[in-house]
Amino acid sequence: MLERIREDVRAMLARDPAAKRPFEVLLCYPGLHAVWAHRVAHGLWDRGWRLTARLLAHFVRGATGVEIHPAAEIGRRVTIDHGMGVVVGETAVVGDDVHLHHGVTLGGNVDEPVKRHPTVENGVDIGANATLLGDITIGAEASVGAGAVVLESVEAGASVAGVPAERIDRE
């Protein structure tokens, strides 16, 4: 567990130019605190302690402004920059080395107990206030622009922006 925390701190130092020292990241990055607490809540969820997991997630939401459902699957070295307003739904899957900015929503678009939230593959960067809805896949190393509304899957390596999101060329 300590190695995973070190991994996350190194990832944040690499992705955020404002992050200057490991101790500062350890103490002052609520997005990471939310991810760490999610690991505990997810473990409780998987062991059948569903109410306890939901209560922990609820407390973390109040403390950090980040809401991650305990059933969501979160990979390694996932970083949430600034954190406030991030929502990750119950059936969302987030791969390794994903970076979420503030206000990102990985939301559902149906009211049935099915896979209804996005899958975000490894190495994806999702800009501030982007909204991804439904059982879609954001391919590895893709980039989602700030404020984008993504309703369809995005192929690996692509960049999308706009409302609704469309593919754009990287410069």
Angle between helix axes 30-46 and 2-15 (nearest 10 degrees) is 140
Please give the pLDDT value at position 170. Answer: 64
One-letter amino acid identity for 88? Answer: V
Q: Tokens at residue 10, please?
A: 């190194």
Please, which pLDDT band fits residue 111 given cuts at 50, 70 and 90?
confident
Q: Answer for the pair 72, 54: CB distance below 8 angstroms, yes or no.
A: no
Q: Residue range 83-103: average pLDDT?
A: 96
Determine what percent of the chain is predicted with pLDDT higher than 70: 99
Distance CA 149, CA 134 (A): 11
> How many residues does the structure list for the chain?
171
The reported pTM is 0.93
Mean pLDDT of the chain: 95
Q: Please report which confidence band the pLDDT of residue 83 belongs to, taking 50, 70 and 90 as the band edges.
A: confident
Tell me: the pLDDT tens digits for 112-156? 889 999 999 999 999 999 999 999 999 999 999 999 999 999 999
28-66 pLDDT, tens digit per residue, is 999 999 999 999 999 999 999 999 999 999 999 999 999
- Section 65-87 average pLDDT: 95
**60 in Cβ contact with 89 (< 8 Å):** no
